[in-house]
């Protein structure tokens, strides 16, 4: 999906669910990691996490759009647009906007795997550790390098 297609989708969702036009800019920000979208108070523009769209599809993106449009329309009207405000909570329920977006699947790249020789607890690490200096956090047993990736 391109930024132009996203802009059209946001405008369509705004008209369908809020019965008000979206007159500002909506774009994907590929650097977003911990949030599904953002609303900017000064410019009234919206940014969305492209990874959410990639991982979960158009339905989840539409839900995130509704959430951000709640902030947008309430702020424009001069009403409570923050998560804790009653106006925001009421409007979110009316348009079925989620409170939070789904967590993205994690992509950790571990280079070392250690296991405890007593209890079998497994530890994944990016950096090597000194097995003579550290012990198992569960049973205080000795650690052993299982594999190096």
Catalytic site positions: 68
Helices and strands (DSSP H and E) totals, the chain: 4, 6
Q: Which pairs from 117-126 meet CB under 8 Å and 24+ separation?
A: 117/141, 117/142, 117/143, 117/144, 118/142, 122/146
Which residues are annotated as part of the binding site? Answer: 67, 71
Which residues are annotated as part of the binding site for Zn(2+)? Answer: 67, 71
């Amino acid at each position: 999906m391109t930024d132009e297609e996203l802009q059209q989708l946001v405008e369509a969702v705004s008209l369908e669910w809020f019965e008000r036009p979206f007159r500002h800019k909506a774009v994907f920000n590929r650097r977003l990691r911990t949030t599904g979208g953002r609303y900017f108070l000064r410019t009234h523009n919206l940014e969305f996490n492209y990874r959410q769209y990639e991982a979960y599809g158009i339905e989840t993106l539409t839900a995130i759009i509704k959430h951000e449009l709640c902030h947008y329309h309430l702020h424009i009207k001069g009403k409570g647009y923050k998560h804790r405000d009653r106006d925001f909570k009421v409007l979110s329920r009316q348009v079925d906007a989620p409170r939070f977006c789904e967590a993205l699947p994690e992509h950790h790249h571990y280079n070392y795997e250690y296991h405890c020789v007593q209890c079998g607890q497994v530890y994944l690490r990016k950096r090597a550790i000194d097995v003579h200096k550290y012990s198992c956090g569960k049973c205080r047993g000795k650690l052993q390098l299982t594999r190096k990736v």
